[in-house]
A = this chain, B = another copy of it.
């Protein structure tokens, strides 16, 4: 069937409405024919359903592909994703986002699209603010947000983005009536009292025993317990440290201390137990409940704190999520904002 490039669209003669729209939901019917996006047109040309003219000449496939690549930013990326979804039987329509995808068994006119698909190249950094804006847009109309990331060899990885429900069972009081001295050494804090060490470790899964009598605490744990009045922290010269002085010293050791610490506090306040996620390259692994350090359950989440102006390097994000999923955890990003901590959960999905 004959078609023609008009600006950044392709117009196909009128009978295409029946052949392509009614039988496949390609394009949008118009009074003078069927209007296709360049992506739809190249796909139909690949399937040898249409021949496309441009500036009076019929283009071969390579010619059409090159023309589309010039006319449409990120054409190849989007074509790769479109073709993949179409070939796996989904009806796909262009939308405010890159694509709206209909659930299997449904199609335009029958039901609503279920997913908004955003296509990105692995090479382009992805600003967190863009991601949050897209997520809000999808949530507003109750769609699932899908990221389709195309790697340099044109493989596609799909991720869904959503808000997690983090809720734990570790309610106060976890450390009744403790008020104990601790020392801020070079970059960690030690509690010297045996009873307090054991209670903090056993009841709240705070810290790690230095030995059977003494407890080492991380900087975020120490600040939390200092703020709760559980610890009195002294430096090595036996000078007492208030929360502000402690936080300042901790920030010198760990530049991300304040961000991490605000997330740690929020998580503890939600009743979950955050422990270091160093082995997984994340700030925290999180337990919903730890009845005893001798019966540590599976931790379901890895949590990494990022600032609102963060830009995701997608290979780094890919690695983080892949690792989390490989140990049966969800990868959660925690974002301190003026209204508290925002959490987003990004995971691989099969489409």
Contact = CB atoms under 8 A, between A and B. Distances in A.
B322 A253 contact: no
Contact of A153 (B186, B207, B254): B207
Chain A residues touching B, majority SS: mixed
Contacts of A319: 280-282, 319-320, 323
Contact of A280 (B121, B185, B236, B322): B322
A22 interface: no
B281 A70 contact: no
Nearest to A183: B66
Interface in A143-186: 151-155, 157, 183, 185-186
Given A153-B208, A153-B275, A319-B319, A62 B192 contact: yes
This chain's copy number in the assembly:
2
Given A46-B211, A186-B69, A254-B123, A157 B316 contact: no
Contacts of A280: 318-319, 322
B190 A153 contact: no
A74 B186 contact: yes
A337 to B, nearest CB: 23
Contact of A76 (B75, B185, B207, B253): B185
24 contacts: A62-B190, A62-B192, A65-B185, A66-B236, A76-B190, A80-B210, A122-B278, A152-B187, A152-B219, A152-B220, A152-B254, A152-B278, A154-B216, A155-B208, A157-B279, A278-B314, A278-B318, A281-B320, A281-B322, A316-B316, A319-B323, A322-B323, A323-B323, A326-B327
Given A74-B186, A281-B316, A281-B320, 16 more contacts: A46-B211, A69-B186, A69-B236, A152-B187, A152-B254, A153-B207, A278-B314, A278-B315, A281-B318, A281-B322, A282-B315, A282-B319, A316-B316, A319-B323, A323-B323, A326-B327
